[in-house]
Chains A and B, each alone.
Chain A
């Protein structure tokens, strides 16, 4: 919402403390939020609000009246340095020989304000240096030089001369804009050929947005010609909507209206300070005051407050935009991380879905059965079973040998029983390759040479995964399986008795790490189903597995498989997630955690509050000092 348009009814409830609180909150919060978002530049509007408020606070704390800062602003060749020289008596470089002439800012300070500490408070975050030699201004520098006013004009305010904003020395532009952000009074100087340059008009719009007051001067121009140019300029800014003069200020005026109401002057070439005060600087409106008397007679307090108010408007706009951007980015990052989590989980599932924990399941079955059968009976039966199995083992060995060449039943499939870690490692490698491909497909903007999912980073992450040992299988899944097995034991007592004697004969203790590769046998049902008449077996576990069907344990096996798969998938997903976070998407996590520290809601509320204050200001009459005084100085000038 732009202040001045479609505003609610005036709400007089906001007090001074609230205004200060909101401003203080924004001033501390926004720079951190800007850093969290990785934005480097400080937009002029925000800078204006920050500098002007900090200057005001500094003066309030010192019990001083804040000084008015004026700036000579304009394109190269407009005469800024010449006028600065004439107004202040400081002999800065000026002239035609070099373009641009000025490459650094200089401020001329009235003698009564000549104190470094004071100036540092008035110009916060500026690197100040005393001007020793005017030629220092010809050298490109971010420092702001200060010097005392020499001229008997005795300007009651600080006057700044700045570099241009339109030559090829582009580093000058930012310096000029930084000083514009600080100044409340803008003296916009342009010569007749440049007033309608696009860049000049764009910067004029910026001045209209930020200035407490604007004074427009046509230099090197006769008054009649200047009047015509003023007419043309005002027509342009009124009719050309692409120039941005439709925006409104806090006082409700559009920028074009503000410009139209500003004071315009014209001046042929001015060569001496006497010419400034004489007839050579002519107001284009007959009712306007003379130029120097205008400068000397300014209500600085009023301008300071107005300048701050306009700057606050710009600052609110920027703060809102930043907070909304941060919120959007936070949501986006959370969404991205959720997506990655899902992809990782899916990858982990594909690893475990191809395995069946045959070894551990058999162990659990045996353990539950053992609880049912008394030890003495178990041992006796075990001895008998052992003899029988040794005979059977020999028979099966011969049968296995002949079935290697194809066997009598070609339709039966083989089951691959192997160590869990080996199979998992093998399947994990494949799953990780696929996972990397999926992640890069989902986030193509990061799948670049400098992105977080670059080929090199993915390669490194994959190597780390392969070099790390897999997490040991947990036992959290076994509780529910045990319950089902216990139920089965109760239903199948005699079968359970048979099962319980197996360990003593077959050395089942080492089965825990064995799994069946379901990829070979075609799934769990297939694995269990085909084993009833299995021709070829591989190991004790497979031999036992074949009896799951006979012993009516399919349902238990299926249920155990589901539980185990989900549990193990979580373990693997956590393993993958930790490594991938460290190697790949850590920047996202860090960015998210930086953004999460900021109370965006509070920032937006502070913006709303200040916006309402500005509404109050807009609706207040000029004479109503209540709201103004809440932002003004605490005492009169020392």
Chain B
């Protein structure tokens, strides 16, 4: 992006992002920091919506009483007495004095209720210069008047005197506006500084400006004497402020104000409380995750529970092995995992083909029951044994999590979405049958907690099974399990191929010689036998892993549904902070690109430490 220009499309993009951020942070408006951010973002958006490209540039003289603002005002516009001055009485300027050219007077937006006094000044061109009442005198209404006008201004000229250059009240007021405006700094009454002390005074003043987050240099900091404009740096100030041609800067100043509002809304001091909340929620999440793990581990200390868990993990391991192994070993694993379902299906098929008979029905029933017992029963047993104490403890943890969110004023942020515990349907008939049977079990469970528990257990089973399967299905196991059956298959294929070629009737009809039926049965038998060693190898490794499994120690419950509310809220906060920081950085960068405009801005892009404290 070229120096001195703001990419309009970037500004438009920022508008969308600001609106998105405002929508996101609006959900957190119970938090004071979030509410403040919402208000500030809203102000930024309203400004951009309300403002077309401004017709004039408004600059104000802001400073303490007695700094010489009115004298400076008169000198800058070369109209002595335009804004009345009094050495005798302080807080003398009670209403704003507005210097503007005749042509631009209708374009000035100072509210009438503030009773502005207009001073015609053809020198100013597109600039409107305002002399404001003080911001530190006894008359608090002066402060309000000054603030109302500063709010609408583009450039603030901070005018102070040597005695008041470290004044607390004035600095607080500057901090209030620091991020939102462009600044020029004027140390007036330089003629009153003793000889030899000027340099030291300037150095001291620069130090104070840096404490406010500014970077003063010769382009934005001026030492003047309004009573003696021919001395010091009055001319430089005049050149920078009055003689600048603002006609080309109007659009950019509009964008600059918008960017300033965005920077202010996303300042580090606003984000800091949200970041604290994120850290606290993360700590709470870790604590609760550990607690949930302990509850499950305690539940799994019961030997029968552990045994049932191992049984169901074993089933799941075989299903995983069917995916991890390849070739023929994968096929045998698949058959092993679904054997009872396949048998049940086979029996039902026979009933359909051969017609129902008592013996057939009994056998089909037994097969179905066996499938049920093998697949579902351990899960139900685990659920029952984990029973009322574990369920109650999990309910307590859910209540604790909710209370934690209440403590942080975040309970209202929670959505009322119920987690979808239904599994998506799987493709194979055996898996579909298994899923249907599980759904029957789920239907027997009356409480929602049981269903959630079931889901968490299943997730844990799947995770454990995947891990065990990965340990079983090493590459060399794959090779060993597939080697012999592959060799047998190749041998059979070669023989069949040789016989096929050798028995081609079109080569020699009398020599047509097909392998006998026994060959095929033998080949099948040999193939089946060749599969067995590999299958036994895989079985032995699987059983070894299962036997070494200690559910009470190894159970993880890595992503318990109980933690979802905390994770959801933390995610929302993190999202807001991430968006806000990105916006802040971008706004800073875009503002820095407008360095050709009069004045300077606070801080540097990404340099959060130098940002002043917001009031």
Where the two chains meet, the residues of A that have a C-beta atom closer than 8 Å to any C-beta of B are 76-77, 95-100, 166-170, 191-199, 201, 225, 228-229, 232, 236, 240, 242-243, 429, 433, 436, 440, 447-449, 451, 454-456, 458-459, 462
Distance of A560 Cα from B137 Cα, bound (Å): 78
Where the two chains meet, the residues of B that have a C-beta atom closer than 8 Å to any C-beta of A are 64-67, 87-91, 136-140, 161-169, 171, 193-194, 197, 200-201, 204, 208, 211, 280, 392, 396, 399-400, 403-404, 406-408
Distance of A98 Cα from B64 Cα, bound (Å): 19
A240 is contacted by which of B138, B169, B201, B400 (Cβ under 8 Å)?
B138
Q: Is the CB of A169 within 8 A of B166?
A: yes
Which B residue's beta carbon lies closest to that of A430? B392
Residues of B within 8 A of A95 (CB): 194, 197
Residues of A within 8 A of B208 (CB): 168
Residues of B within 8 A of A459 (CB): 400, 403
Distance of A555 Cα from B362 Cα, bound (Å): 60
Q: Is the CB of A194 within 8 A of B89?
A: no
Residues of B within 8 A of A194 (CB): 66, 163-164
Q: Is the CB of A229 within 8 A of B163?
A: no
Q: Is the CB of B90 within 8 A of A193?
A: yes
Distance of A403 Cα from B163 Cα, bound (Å): 100
Q: Is the CB of A99 within 8 A of B165?
A: yes
Distance of A243 Cα from B91 Cα, bound (Å): 15
Q: Is the CB of A449 within 8 A of B137?
A: no
Distance of A132 Cα from B166 Cα, bound (Å): 28
Closest 7 CB pairs of A and B: A193-B66, A77-B163, A455-B403, A228-B88, A97-B200, A196-B90, A99-B166
Known pairs A97-B197, A225-B87; list 5 more (Cβ under 8 Å): A169-B166, A192-B66, A194-B164, A228-B88, A440-B406
Which B residue's beta carbon lies closest to that of A240? B138
Which B residue's beta carbon lies closest to that of A243? B138
Distance of A242 Cα from B64 Cα, bound (Å): 20
Shortest distance between the CB of A120 and any CB in chain B (Å): 32
With contacts defined as CB atoms under 8 Å apart, how many contacts are there between chain A and chain B in the complex?
Answer: 117
The answer to whether residues A448 and B407 also contact, given A192-B87, A193-B66 and a CB cut-off of 8 A, is: yes
Q: Is the CB of A462 within 8 A of B396?
A: yes
Q: Is the CB of A168 within 8 A of B166?
A: yes
24 contacts between A and B (CB under 8 A): A77-B162, A95-B197, A99-B163, A99-B166, A99-B204, A166-B167, A166-B169, A170-B168, A193-B65, A193-B66, A193-B163, A196-B91, A197-B136, A198-B136, A198-B138, A199-B136, A199-B169, A240-B138, A243-B138, A433-B396, A447-B407, A451-B407, A455-B406, A459-B400
Residues of A within 8 A of B164 (CB): 77, 193-194
Distance of A196 Cα from B211 Cα, bound (Å): 26
Q: Is the CB of A97 within 8 A of B204?
A: yes
Shortest distance between the CB of A15 and any CB in chain B (Å): 44
Q: Is the CB of B404 within 8 A of A455?
A: yes
The answer to whether residues A449 and B168 also contact, given A198-B140, A242-B140, A455-B407 and a CB cut-off of 8 A, is: no
Q: Is the CB of A449 within 8 A of B403?
A: no
Residues of B within 8 A of A455 (CB): 400, 403-404, 406-407
Q: Is the CB of A97 within 8 A of B168?
A: no
Q: Is the CB of B166 within 8 A of A454?
A: no
Which B residue's beta carbon lies closest to that of A429? B392
Residues of A within 8 A of B169 (CB): 166, 197-199
Q: Is the CB of B193 within 8 A of A228?
A: no
The answer to whether residues A168 and B171 also contact, given A99-B163, A193-B161, A196-B65 and a CB cut-off of 8 A, is: yes
Residues of A within 8 A of B408 (CB): 449
Which A residue's beta carbon lies closest to that of B161? A193
Which A residue's beta carbon lies closest to that of B199? A97
Shortest distance between the CB of B484 and any CB in chain A (Å): 58
Residues of A within 8 A of B399 (CB): 433
Distance of A13 Cα from B171 Cα, bound (Å): 54
Distance of A243 Cα from B65 Cα, bound (Å): 18
Shortest distance between the CB of A419 and any CB in chain B (Å): 15
Residues of A within 8 A of B193 (CB): 96
Shortest distance between the CB of B583 and any CB in chain A (Å): 28
Distance of A240 Cα from B211 Cα, bound (Å): 34
Residues of B within 8 A of A169 (CB): 166
Residues of A within 8 A of B280 (CB): 449
Q: Is the CB of A449 within 8 A of B140?
A: no
Residues of A within 8 A of B64 (CB): 193, 197
Distance of A436 Cα from B404 Cα, bound (Å): 13
Which A residue's beta carbon lies closest to that of B91? A196
Which B residue's beta carbon lies closest to that of A236? B138
A96 is contacted by which of B162, B167, B403, B406 (Cβ under 8 Å)?
B162
Residues of B within 8 A of A243 (CB): 138
Which A residue's beta carbon lies closest to that of B66? A193
Q: Is the CB of B403 within 8 A of A197?
A: no
Shortest distance between the CB of B65 and any CB in chain A (Å): 6
Distance of A451 Cα from B161 Cα, bound (Å): 47
Which A residue's beta carbon lies closest to that of B163? A77
Distance of A193 Cα from B403 Cα, bound (Å): 56
Distance of A459 Cα from B91 Cα, bound (Å): 59
Residues of A within 8 A of B136 (CB): 197-199
The answer to whether residues A76 and B65 also contact, given A433-B399, A447-B406, A454-B407 and a CB cut-off of 8 A, is: no
Q: Is the CB of B88 within 8 A of A225?
A: yes
Distance of A191 Cα from B64 Cα, bound (Å): 14
Shortest distance between the CB of B407 and any CB in chain A (Å): 4
Residues of B within 8 A of A456 (CB): 404
A100 is contacted by which of B67, B87, B166, B171 (Cβ under 8 Å)?
B166
Residues of A within 8 A of B139 (CB): 240
Distance of A229 Cα from B87 Cα, bound (Å): 9
Residues of B within 8 A of A97 (CB): 197, 200-201, 204
Residues of A within 8 A of B211 (CB): 168
Residues of B within 8 A of A199 (CB): 136, 168-169
Which B residue's beta carbon lies closest to that of A235? B89
Residues of B within 8 A of A429 (CB): 392
Which A residue's beta carbon lies closest to that of B211? A168
Residues of B within 8 A of A100 (CB): 166
Residues of B within 8 A of A242 (CB): 140
A166 is contacted by which of B168, B392, B407 (Cβ under 8 Å)?
B168
Residues of A within 8 A of B407 (CB): 447-449, 451, 454-455
Shortest distance between the CB of B91 and any CB in chain A (Å): 5
Distance of A196 Cα from B87 Cα, bound (Å): 12
Distance of A232 Cα from B204 Cα, bound (Å): 33
Distance of A193 Cα from B65 Cα, bound (Å): 7
Distance of A229 Cα from B66 Cα, bound (Å): 13
